[in-house]
Amino acid sequence: MRWAIFSIILGLAATSKGETLLYRNTFNDTSALHGWVAEGPVNATVSNNTLTLAGAGGPDDYFVYWLPEVFPDRIRIAWEFQPIQEPGLAMFFFGATSVDGGSIFDPSLKPRNGSYPQYHSSDIRLLHASYFRRRWPEERNFHVANLRKSPGFHLVAQGADPIPSVEDVQGAYYKIEVVKDKREVTFKVNDLLLFSFDDTKSDTGPVVRGRRIALRGMQPLIANYRNLEVWKL
């Protein structure tokens, strides 16, 4: 497992909470994106310890950008987010497997190119948290963050989204933290809880476990990401 090698290289860094660092990307050099898998047109650039993601296709072509690592269940994922061009929408995919629990990159699965139905109603199982939802007018006049479970496009949790519009960001970065602890999920921005979810309390199919995580963007969003970390609980 490559994440195990990572944790050895990083000296088994641990927090006071007893967590172990599995993956850290400070986007500090050109190798930072080695092994990432893009589905759909994306322009990913790394400079000044920052990953900048922008759609590289037409107005309706979105992207999913998978990390190169496979993760266990029971993790905490944290990163810093800064929207720099709106409208658009940001999303975080986690716990992604094929519907039978295998790899999402199994060649027998249907092809994917960033188009949302291929992720929410097809042959993969995952959770997806959307935030900075500014793509459509109804998203812009009431700012919420959503958690959906797939397959099935089930809306399983929702909360108010405190991230402001680009003109009020003024250089700020927002610390986003997702905890995936077996059946329980929490989503925080700057330590403020937006929503939580208990996967045993919904009639939405098998509980999502570990595996793949990804960043997703909807045009014409441009956003900066920094200090991406995954900790084992």
Ligand X SMILES: *[C@@H]1O[C@H](CO)[C@@H](O)[C@H](O)[C@H]1NC(C)=O
Residues that bind ligand X (CB under 6 A): 24, 26, 28-29, 40-41, 43, 45, 48, 52, 54, 56-57, 61, 113, 115
Nearer to ligand X, 145 or 230 (CB): 230
What single-letter DSSP state applies at residue 211? B
Report the amino acid identity of residue 2: R
Looking at the Cβ atoms of 51 and 157, the one nearer to ligand X is 51
Residue type, 19: E
The distance of closest approach from Cβ of residue 44 to ligand X in the complex, given in angstroms and rounded to an integer, is 8
Angstrom distance (rounded) from CA 65 to CA 61: 13
The distance of closest approach from Cβ of residue 36 to ligand X in the complex, given in angstroms and rounded to an integer, is 15
Beta carbons of 19 and 92 less than 8 angstroms apart: no
Nearer to ligand X, 41 or 210 (CB): 41
Where do runs of H (alpha helix) occur along 18-116? none
For residue 29, count other CB atoms closer than 10 A to its CB. 10
Decide whether 113 or 158 has the Cβ nearer to ligand X: 113
Nearest-Å Rg of the Cα atoms of the chain is 17
| CB 34 to ligand X: min, Å | 12
Q: Which is nearer to ligand X, 143 or 175 (CB)?
A: 175
* Closest CB to ligand X among residues 52, 204: 52
DSSP string across 139-163: HHTS-EEEEEEETTTEEEEEEE---
Place of tokens 């609980």: 233
Q: 182: left (phi > 0), else alpha (psi -120 to 50), else beta?
A: left
| Selection from 109, 90, 117 nearest residue 176 by Cα | 90
- Separation CA 141–CA 127 (nearest Å): 25
Least separation in angstroms between residue 98's CB and ligand X is 18
Residue nearer to ligand X on the CB measure, 15 or 43: 43
Closest approach of Cβ 186 to ligand X, in Å? 26
Q: Residue 228 phi/psi, 5° resolution? A: -80, 125
Residue 118 beta carbon to ligand X: minimum distance, rounded to whole angstroms: 6
The CB-of-123 to ligand X minimum distance in angstroms stands at: 13
